[in-house]
Amino acid sequence: MSERQYLIDAISVEDSWRLFRIMAELVDGFDTLSDVYPCVSIFGSARVGPMEETYEKTVTIAKKLAENGYHIITGGGPGIMEAGNKGAKEGGGSSIGLNIRLPKEQSPNPYADIQLDFKYFFVRKVIFLKYAQAYVGMPGGFGTLDEIFEAITLIQTNRIKPFPVILVGSDYWGTLWEWLRGNLLKRKFISSEDADLVTILDDPDDVVNTIKRTVIV
């Protein structure tokens, strides 16, 4: 057997095992969360500290949602994710963490009662989408943008049923949406309905009430 053929065969075997690992992560997620309903996924920066206003606002939102019968799903790490799980626990809801090992997220936070650990980003994102009846985006970086824009893309293209996508913090998100309307919408890259797939709010009670109007417990 040539060295080239040996490498091809080795890669093929590795790909086959990778498929099994992917399937195992999906099955684990489906089995763990199949009976948890309704859920709200909360996203935001891992770099926000417990004494910061955004952290405390996230705790408040998650707690109020939990008190109204919603369970909370986060990425399971520190920062906004920790705040979401903390609020869920304080409010008496299921506190779920979908953790993935990253340089800035080395370990799961202590407030998630249900912990799942992922190697593959896309599998983790499938679980977020499958079990969420609403998305709440707090201020965050590339990961937060990725999660939010994937959700609205899937809603836009009718790949998933529409659900509330709420961005919290008009001072943070407002300029982004102004740019989106001034460029994408102006150039007709999106429609006016697409630009309205997201709601920008500031008050925690408004966030909860918006979700309650759409997602019945």
Task: Tell me the CATH number at 57.
Answer: 3.40.50.450
In a domain, 3, yes or no: no
- Over residues 24-35, the pLDDT tens digits come to 999 999 999 999
How many domains does the chain contain in total? 1
| Least confident span in 17-21, 29-33, 79-83, 146-150 | 17-21
Q: What is the pLDDT of residue 217?
A: 75
In a domain, 27, yes or no: no
Q: Specify the DSSP element, H or E, that contains 217.
A: none
What is the residue-wise DSSP string for 164-212? -EEEE-HHHHHHHHHHHIIIIITTTSS-HHHHTSEEEE--HHHHHHHHH
Query: Is pLDDT of 7 > 80?
Result: no
- Over residues 78-127, the pLDDT tens digits come to 999 999 999 999 999 999 999 987 765 567 899 999 999 999 999 999 99
Residue 152, number of CB atoms within 10 A of its CB: 17
In a domain, 14, yes or no: no
What is the residue-wise DSSP string for 116-140? EEES-HHHHHHHHHHH-SEEEE-S-
In a domain, 44, yes or no: yes
In a domain, 190, yes or no: yes
- Over residues 158-171, the pLDDT tens digits come to 999 999 999 999 99
Check residue 102 and report its DSSP letter.
B
Query: What's the whole-model pTM score?
Result: 0.90
Average pLDDT over residues 179-202: 96
Residue 159 domain boundaries? 36-214
In a domain, 79, yes or no: yes
In a domain, 19, yes or no: no
Task: Say which residue the tokens 């709010």 belong to.
Answer: 201
Distance separating the N- and C-terminal Cα atoms of the chain: 62
